[in-house]
Amino acid sequence: MAVASNERQSSPGRYTHSVLIALGSALLLWSAWLWIKLIGARGGDAAECAIGGGQICSSVWDSAFANAVQDATLVPVAGWGVIWALVALILPVSARMSAAAERWWDALVIHSAVGLAGVLILAAAMFTQGAFCSDCAVAYGLTIGYAWQALRHARPLGAGSLLPAAGRALAATAIAWVLVLYPSSHTPSSPRAEALEALRGLQVPADGPETDRQLASFLKQLDADQLQDLADMIATWEAAPEVPVRPARALIGPRGARVRVTEFADALCGHCAQLHELLASLREKLPPGSFAVEPRHFPLDPACNPELGGRSQHPVRCTAARVLICSERQPWAFELAGEIFAQQRDLDEERLWRLVERHGPRAAIESCASSEVTRARLRDDVAWAVEHGIQGTPLVLLDGRRAPAQPNFLIAMLLAGSDPDHPMLRDLPPGRVRQD
């Protein structure tokens, strides 16, 4: 009985062969389709995953790991799916048709084990970069299903059978690799890699604007993934709905500045504090007149924000917003905002007023903060933020259009004068509009 069991394990029947051929065929078609999607994405087509709704699969296909694989082997990762699937078809057909079926089956088992190892490596690379490609997961599932069918019929391989079996699997892989070299040679390079290469050689004339030299230096510091991220944010900003721009109540910076940055902030918002620090740093580093800041407010407390429900938890948010509105025309307005953000952890009403007293008479600011005019201005800020679809603070508008509150985006666009067609931004990879 033991011999019969071993024979069944080493010589699977027609059903197992049929299942393997079906799984190999499905994987071949799916991998070929992913390859076509990759080519289209690199040409500017939509890059969303077909399964899972809205995932950007090309962020995985064009990752640093995927590009390294293509550079080293001349075949993209999707092409390697085609290669593995071709071999997964060749081996069971050969085992079925050959008199030496067990030898081909041993090669199939080795090929399956290599496939499992490949799935683990690719999945680890995908999750390391914090992304998920649902279409890739389908390919992984087909590979795992194929390997399970093969390995459950595996027999122990000694040195005498292991090397010949590995040789057959390697030879079949080499043949499949040669077959896909031609379509691989017509697969466009990654836009990220091309952008990285182009920007590394970026030159600015010695007599060019200082902002252009700063922009060139900044772009050269970014890696391929950061360049793609920047291109995506610019595309998202360009596609943002146009909402009528309201006259600025006050500007921190010259009215003739090239760019206006409008920020809707909350006194206890940590990300708002980080944005303020970034803008303060850029005000020091960029040439005068590069940009002006328009402070607006969206306090996250229902006591003064009708868009929020529930009970008031931190009324100092409302008081701080009204204080900053009353101070916005003062030369120390930006400094006061920074001091308030720096005291977020312990900010209360009394600490807030002590900060105000460093710059001006408390009585005058207190009177202004309690006035109906100031309350109306705060309601106007909240209403304008809602028109822009605010989902949290800070909300940033760049020249009146909703923009990502991300350092790389703001640095690049302020240096470029909010011009997405700036000559130094033309070598960025194609941008993809992000959906909230």
CATH number at residue 388: 3.40.30.10
**In-domain check, residue 195:** no
220 contacts: CB under 8 Å, gap ≥ 6: 199, 200, 202
**In-domain check, residue 295:** yes
Q: Name the DSSP letter for residue 358.
A: T
Q: Are residues 63 and 170 in the same domain?
A: yes
pLDDT digits (tens, 9 = 90+) for 22-39: 999 999 999 998 888 888
Q: Are residues 176 and 292 in the same domain?
A: no
Q: Are residues 170 and 292 in the same domain?
A: no
The domain tally of the chain equals 2
Q: Name the DSSP letter for residue 131.
A: -
pLDDT digits (tens, 9 = 90+) for 112-129: 999 999 999 988 888 887
Q: Are residues 79 and 170 in the same domain?
A: yes
- The answer to whether the Cα torsion of 412, 417, 418, 423 is positive or negative is negative
Structure tokens at 27: 């994987």
Which domain does 272 fall in, by range? 244-399
Query: Residue 157: which CATH number?
Result: 1.20.1440
Q: Are residues 53 and 130 in the same domain?
A: yes
Q: What is the pTM of this model?
A: 0.65
**In-domain check, residue 298:** yes
**In-domain check, residue 162:** yes
Q: Are residues 281 and 380 in the same domain?
A: yes
- Among 185, 200, 218, the domain boundary falls at 185
Q: Mutual orientation of helices 362-369 and 372-387 as an angle, nearest 10°?
A: 60
Distance CA 425, CA 356 (A): 42
**In-domain check, residue 222:** no
**In-domain check, residue 223:** no
As to burial, measured by CB atoms within 10 angstroms (0-12 exposed, 13-18 middle, 19+ buried), residue 10 is: middle
Q: Are residues 175 and 250 in the same domain?
A: no
**In-domain check, residue 380:** yes
Q: Are residues 90 and 172 in the same domain?
A: yes
3-state class (DSSP) for residue 301: coil
What is the residue-level pLDDT of the chain in tens, covering all 436 positions? 344 444 434 457 778 888 899 999 999 999 998 888 888 777 666 556 666 544 556 667 777 788 788 888 999 888 999 999 999 998 888 877 776 677 888 888 899 999 999 999 988 888 887 777 888 889 999 999 999 988 887 777 666 678 888 888 999 999 999 999 998 888 877 666 666 676 776 677 677 788 888 888 898 888 877 888 898 899 999 998 888 888 899 999 998 899 999 999 999 999 999 999 999 999 998 888 899 999 999 999 999 999 998 888 899 999 999 999 999 999 999 999 999 999 999 999 999 999 999 998 899 999 999 999 999 999 999 999 999 999 999 999 999 999 999 999 999 999 999 999 998 888 888 777 876 5
Q: Are residues 48 and 181 in the same domain?
A: yes
Q: Are residues 309 and 380 in the same domain?
A: yes
**In-domain check, residue 417:** no
